[in-house]
Structure 1
Amino acid sequence: MPLNPHATFSVESAVELAVVERSGFIESRHIGAAVVLSADGQVVTELGDITAPVFARSTLKPLQALAAMQAGVPLRGAQVAIACGSHVGSLDHMDVVEGMLKAASVTEDQLQCPADWPADETARTWLVQTERGKSRLAFNCSGKHAAFLWACTENGWDTHSYLEPNHPLQQRVRSVIEEYCGERIAHLGIDGCGAPVAAVSLTGLARAYSQLAKAPGDHHSNARAATIATSMLDYPWAVQGRGEANTIVMNDLGIIAKIGAEGVLAMATPQGVAVAIKVLDGNIRATTLVGLTLLAAAGAVDIPEVSSVLEKVIDPVLGGGRPVGKIRLGHAVSALLD
């Protein structure tokens, strides 16, 4: 049966990336696809269908932030990182976003991401105790939306329609995505935050991250792209949150890392070796394990360093509050280490 042009790859085109083992029994299997690109853009590792479109979800945020910066938004430091981030809504996160809104002369009410409770427990308790309730600042995409609004005020664009696909800002976003992915967008949808989301191939996504990661060391690269990569590594807490997987990977290994909803992950080393993953069932719990292993198998990161990071970010399988199993690599990935 041919693939629906408005669908991602099929089960038949996927491979087993990871399994969940409980008490010596394989309880669940995560299938999907993944690609590793060398610094010069050549395919080093191909698992499953790496050419079919996937909604890249929040892995597109660095490109969306880049578009906002190209539109004249003077993002600096943690502002850049949080515009690229899917943060947990800590008090520090909300402070950075609030500062961006103030600089743009707009208010929280103008953010068109939903109001939400923060994933950060301290911030959630504060919102409850102060009776402020859910906040748009706490939504994990608020940094991106603040950058979008700021782009509108810098250019005199309408702030009410900034999420519409035909808005000048969103047209610029699509142009940046296609430029860095090196391919046309296959489909355009609506992300969880209400912004347009593009479907691109895993190969295209990895290509984009390779370019971003290499930018600081390449004098011919776009200076704003270099700022994106540098800021994500300098302020990894703003990209996700202290103790969170992406933050730990960036802090400990010095490679840019960004999750996306529905099982998407992209990472790249400063040399430009990049990996992009889509877990077909949409679960992200094995993505960091698979992504770092693929980079290690390609010789892009050291195995001992990867093992140290994985000990921090991979939760054990529990039974009665004690470890009784683990998430481990599927054969398609583990075979690459032999």
Structure 2
Amino acid sequence: MPHNPHATFTVDSAVELAVIERSGFVESRHLGSAVLLAADGSVVTELGDITTPVYARSALKPFQALAAMQCGVPLRGAQVAVACGSHTGSLDHMDVVSGMLKAAGVREDQLLCPEAWPQDETARNWLVRSERGRSRLAFNCSGKHAAFLWACTENGWDTASYLEPNHPLQQAVRTAIEENAEERIAHLGVDGCGAPVAALSLKGLARAYSQLAKAPGDKHSNARAATIATSMLDYPWAVQGKGEANTVVMEDLEVIAKIGAEGVLAMATPQGVSVAIKVLDGNLRATSLVALTLLAAAGAVDPDKVADVLAKVVEPVLGGGRPVGQIRLGPSVSALLDQP
């Protein structure tokens, strides 16, 4: 049967990446695909279909930020990281984004991302107490949108249409994605924040992350890509939030990590070993477990350090407030740990 060009891979071409066990009973199964690439781009581990496109969602943010920087946006430090981030909307996150808007000479109401309550409890309580209500600054993509607006003001582009696919900025984003993934975008849709979202293969997504992570150590690489990779590791709190999975991985392992909605996760070591995952049911809870296991099984990260990180970031299975089960690896993933 020919593949539908407007659909991702199917259950028949996926593998069981993880299961949820409660009281000794497997109650849920997460099917999906994953790939691990060596630093030279060769496939080390292939689980399921890694060539059929997936919407990479927010895993593409570092490359959207790269395009903005290549269009002249002078992002620095935490600004770079928050532009790449899916943040929790903490007061610190909102403060950085607000500073970006001020530097760009634009207003908060020019952001085209939706208004939102922050995931961060302290920030949410502050917005309630101060009667400010929901804020565009609190939306998890606000850093990316601020960088987009800043690119417009740097170049004299229209700020009201910066999310349109034919806008000069979005054309630059498309080029940045395709150059780093080394493949053409298969389909272009609309992301949750309103921005264009590209469909790529998992192999292409992993390839892009490999290039990004290697950039700081390669004198011939794109200097702005090197800045992005360095800033994500230097300001991991700005990419997601204190105690959040991506932030902990970057803090403790110095591995670039970026989630995308609907079960997408990409990671890469400074040496350029990279992993990309798509869970078909769209749930993210097993992604860090699977990705870090692939990296550890390949010898790309220290297994003992990975175990410590997983204890912090993998959600417990609780009953009455106490552990009664676990998220555990599917057989195709756990088998990698048994290989010599």
Question: What is the TM-score of this pair, normalised by structure 1?
Answer: 1.00
How far apart are the structure 1 equivalents of 2:11 and 2:2? 13
Q: Match of 2:330?
A: 330
Q: Match of 1:171?
A: 171
Amino acid at match of 2:173: V
Deviation at 1:2, TM superposition (A): 2.5
Amino acid at match of 1:193: C
**Secondary structure at 1:96 match in 2:** helix
Q: Match of 2:272?
A: 272
How far apart are the structure 1 equivalents of 2:294 and 2:30? 16
How far apart are the structure 2 equivalents of 1:221 and 1:321? 49
Q: Match of 2:73?
A: 73
How far apart are the structure 2 equivalents of 1:316 and 1:263? 18
CA contact 1:3–1:10 (8 Å) conserved in 2: no
Q: Match of 2:151?
A: 151
- Residue deviations 1:240-299, cap 9 Å, x none? 000000000000000100000000000000000000000000000000000000001111
How far apart are the structure 2 equivalents of 1:170 and 1:60? 13
Does 1:85 pair with 2:113? Answer: no
How far apart are the structure 2 equivalents of 1:156 and 1:75? 18
Deviation at 1:153, TM superposition (A): 0.1
Q: Match of 2:222?
A: 222
Q: Match of 1:161?
A: 161
How far apart are the structure 1 equivalents of 2:57 and 2:177? 12
**Secondary structure at 2:65 match in 1:** helix
Deviation at 1:161, TM superposition (A): 0.1
Does 1:18 pair with 2:2? Answer: no
Q: Match of 2:209?
A: 209
Q: Match of 1:284?
A: 284
**Secondary structure at 1:282 match in 2:** coil
Q: Match of 2:105?
A: 105
Map 1:227-266 → 2, pairs under 5 A: 227-266=227-266
Map 1:22-33 → 2, pairs under 5 A: 22-33=22-33
- Residue deviations 1:214-262, cap 9 Å, x none? 0000000000000000000000000000000000000000010000000
How far apart are the structure 2 equivalents of 1:251 and 1:320? 31
Deviation at 1:3, TM superposition (A): 2.0
**Secondary structure at 2:174 match in 1:** helix
Question: What is the TM-score of this pair, normalised by structure 2?
Answer: 0.99
How far apart are the structure 2 equivalents of 1:224 and 1:203? 23
How far apart are the structure 1 equivalents of 2:168 and 2:42? 34
- Residue deviations 1:159-180, cap 9 Å, x none? 0000000000000000000000
How far apart are the structure 1 equivalents of 2:94 and 2:60? 21
Amino acid at match of 1:78: A
Q: Match of 1:298?
A: 298
Q: Match of 1:196?
A: 196
How far apart are the structure 2 equivalents of 1:49 and 1:254? 28
How far apart are the structure 2 equivalents of 1:119 and 1:316? 20
Amino acid at match of 1:323: P
Q: Match of 1:138?
A: 138
How far apart are the structure 2 equivalents of 1:80 and 1:192? 21
- Residue deviations 1:109-153, cap 9 Å, x none? 000000000000000000000000000000000000000000000
Amino acid at match of 1:86: S
How far apart are the structure 2 equivalents of 1:121 and 1:190? 29
CA contact 1:215–1:221 (8 Å) conserved in 2: yes
Deviation at 1:204, TM superposition (A): 0.2
How far apart are the structure 2 equivalents of 1:19 and 1:302? 24
How far apart are the structure 2 equivalents of 1:2 and 1:47? 21
How far apart are the structure 1 equivalents of 2:56 and 2:114? 20
Deviation at 1:315, TM superposition (A): 1.6
How many residue pairs match? The answer is 338
Q: Alignment RMSD, CA only?
A: 0.4
Superposition misfits of 4+ residues, deviation over 6 angstroms: none
**Secondary structure at 1:87 match in 2:** coil
How far apart are the structure 2 equivalents of 1:30 and 1:312? 21
**Secondary structure at 2:219 match in 1:** coil
Q: Match of 1:38?
A: 38
How far apart are the structure 1 equivalents of 2:296 and 2:176? 29
How far apart are the structure 2 equivalents of 1:336 and 1:2? 31
How far apart are the structure 2 equivalents of 1:262 and 1:102? 33
Does 1:56 pair with 2:56? Answer: yes
How far apart are the structure 2 equivalents of 1:52 and 1:93? 35
How far apart are the structure 1 equivalents of 2:328 and 2:82? 31
Amino acid at match of 2:162: Y
